Amino acid sequence: MLRPRQEGKGMDGKGIIIVGAGAAGVGAALECAARGIPYTVLEAAERVGGRAYTAAAGLPQAWDHGCHWLHCADENPLVAWADRLGADYVRQRTFNEAISVWSDGRFQDPGAVAECDDALNRAFEAVETSGRDVAIPDVLPDTGRWTPTVRLILALMAGDDAEDVSAAGYADYHDTDHNWPVLSGYGALITAMAEGLNIRTGVPVHAVRQRGDGASVVTDAGDLEAAGVIVTASTNVLARGGIRMEGGAAADLAQALHRVPCGVYEKVAFALDRIPDELAQTRFLTVQTGADMATNFQVMHGVEPMMLCHMAGRTAHGLVMDGPGAMVDYARAALRQAFGPQIEKRITGTATTNWTNDPLVLGSYSHARPGSAGFRREMIARDTGRVAFAGEAFSPQWQATAHGAYDSGRRVAGRMAEKIS
């Protein structure tokens, strides 16, 4: 496995300090390196990658606990990195290929699946064309019996319940409808990209201080001076004071980041001895169990097959706060609905995520609250001096994605390099 070389170079007050070694931090570091600008990346965790994390967690094979898809793959700048580093991914056009739906006590026939797919398409078209900075449900058409599935998929795509997400803010995302899963792990890809970069792990930054001609960061080892600081922590970490912004325009912006929070999105992973026969050609399964309940599974075929239950919003929040057992029980119940109790014999292992309570993340990915789409656009363009922000939340058209974070990191590092030169 490729591992990043993590050097302990200090700063002399002339270079750039990058806070966080996720996709945005790695992108910023690569931009600095390409420009010959001295830099140091400080990462609080003992690993790189941030919300890109590939690990086994006790299961037979590694899986992506966070981001997994090369979204907008026909434009995604990380596809070139995947090719360069030999990552294994699958080219597929949309999420709508090979979907199965279980509802009303049975697997639905192709006509009903097409009807469900049409309801989803109409919902997304309404969101993407409304132009209204209101809660997503305010612009949705009537989707009939497929409303639970529509609401679930919207929550998964936005990272939170639709009621808490701006339709106009969601529509800012530029979707090319090409989404390619990284079979070898998105987290593994970001880790490989960090090879040779000047990254110091296990170094939490507690505060960032801004002054006219530079900035400093506060760590357990003391203050470090820099000509500029790029902060790539999640909006939830910043809004809740996980890293204090002390003075200047950056502090003003950080206080308003509750308007673009990270929602809740968690996964339950099931290792199986084999995929159920009903899903032989399926990539996604939706289990709709009532007038207001639906559950989504990603089906991962292969020598060591898996199924991942995806959950978001208030449902996910309640389950993750109740603990891994509650999350697993919820997902198991949906599988038993579709396949009967015999599915239990197929399950060989389980694992769960907990981004909601990870103090270095505190959520999934960002969205603009209703009424905050304009603020999100303005915050991206705002000049905050020698302390700047980067990350998926600061991507104009690729929010909530790893490649959006990476692109933001490179773009902001380029601006900071010009500012300090």
Each residue's pLDDT tens digit, 28-70: 999 999 999 999 999 999 999 999 999 998 898 999 999 999 9
Name residue 215's amino acid.
A
Contacts 24+ apart (CB under 8 A), 238-244: 238/389, 240/362, 242/359, 242/360, 242/362, 243/19, 243/205, 243/206, 243/207, 243/208, 244/206, 244/207, 244/208, 244/218
Domains 16-53+185-261+368-420 and 94-177+265-352 belong to one CATH topology: no
Helix (H) / strand (E) element for 416: namely helix 402-420
Q: Would you state the pLDDT for residue 247?
A: 85
Helices (H), 210-341: 235-239, 248-254, 313-322, 324-339
For 69-85, write each residue's pLDDT tens digit: 999 999 999 999 999 99
Q: How confident is the model at residue 3 (pLDDT cuts 50, 70, 90)?
A: very low
Q: Which residues make Cβ contacts (< 8 Å) with residue 48, sequence separation at least 6?
A: 4, 21, 22, 25, 26, 190, 191, 194, 199, 201
- CA dist 151 and 325 (Å) reads 25
HSE, side-chain direction, 13 A CA sphere, residue 192: 18
Q: Would you state the pLDDT for residue 330?
A: 97
Q: What is the mean pLDDT of residues 96-122?
A: 92
Q: What is the mean pLDDT of residues 402-417?
A: 98
Among 160, 169, 124, 148, smallest CA distance to 266 is for 160
Q: Would you state the pLDDT for residue 81?
A: 98
Residue 4 has pLDDT above 50, yes or no: no
Helices (H), 77-182: 78-85, 110-130, 147-158, 167-171
Mean predicted lDDT score pLDDT of the chain = 94
For 307-366, write each residue's pLDDT tens digit: 999 999 999 999 999 999 999 999 999 999 999 999 999 999 999 999 999 999 999 999
Reduce the DSSP state of residue 123 to 3 states and report it. Answer: helix
Q: Would you state the pLDDT for residue 12?
A: 59
Residue 408 has pLDDT above 80, yes or no: yes
**Domain 94-177+265-352, CATH among 3.90.420.10, 3.40.50.10810, 3.90.660.10, 3.30.310.50:** 3.90.660.10
Q: Would you state the pLDDT for residue 278?
A: 93
What CATH architecture is 16-53+185-261+368-420? 3-Layer(bba) Sandwich (3.50)
Tell me how long the chain is.
421
Strands, E, within 124-204: which ranges? 179-181, 199-201
For 247-303, write each residue's pLDDT tens digit: 889 999 999 999 999 999 999 999 999 999 999 989 999 999 876 789 999 999 988
Residue 405 contacts residue 27 (beta carbons within 8 Å) = yes
Residue 11 has pLDDT above 60, yes or no: no
Q: Would you state the pLDDT for residue 44?
A: 98
Residue 10 has pLDDT above 80, yes or no: no
Among 162, 240, 218, smallest CA distance to 387 is for 218
Map out the domains of the chain as residue ranges.
16-53+185-261+368-420, 94-177+265-352
Residue 7 has pLDDT above 50, yes or no: no
For 147-177, write each residue's pLDDT tens digit: 999 999 999 999 999 999 999 999 999 999 9
Residue 33 contacts residue 57 (beta carbons within 8 Å) = no
pTM, 2 dp: 0.94
Q: Would you state the pLDDT for residue 144?
A: 94
Q: Would you state the pLDDT for residue 98?
A: 85
Q: What is the mean pLDDT of residues 7-26?
A: 80
Q: What are the angstrom distances between the C-alpha of 52 and each of 2, 247, 329, 368?
A: 15, 31, 26, 22
Q: Would you state the pLDDT for residue 94?
A: 61
Residue 8 has pLDDT above 50, yes or no: no
- Residue 92: phi and psi, rounded to 5, are -145, 150
Q: Would you state the pLDDT for residue 293?
A: 87
- CA dist 309 and 197 (Å) reads 35
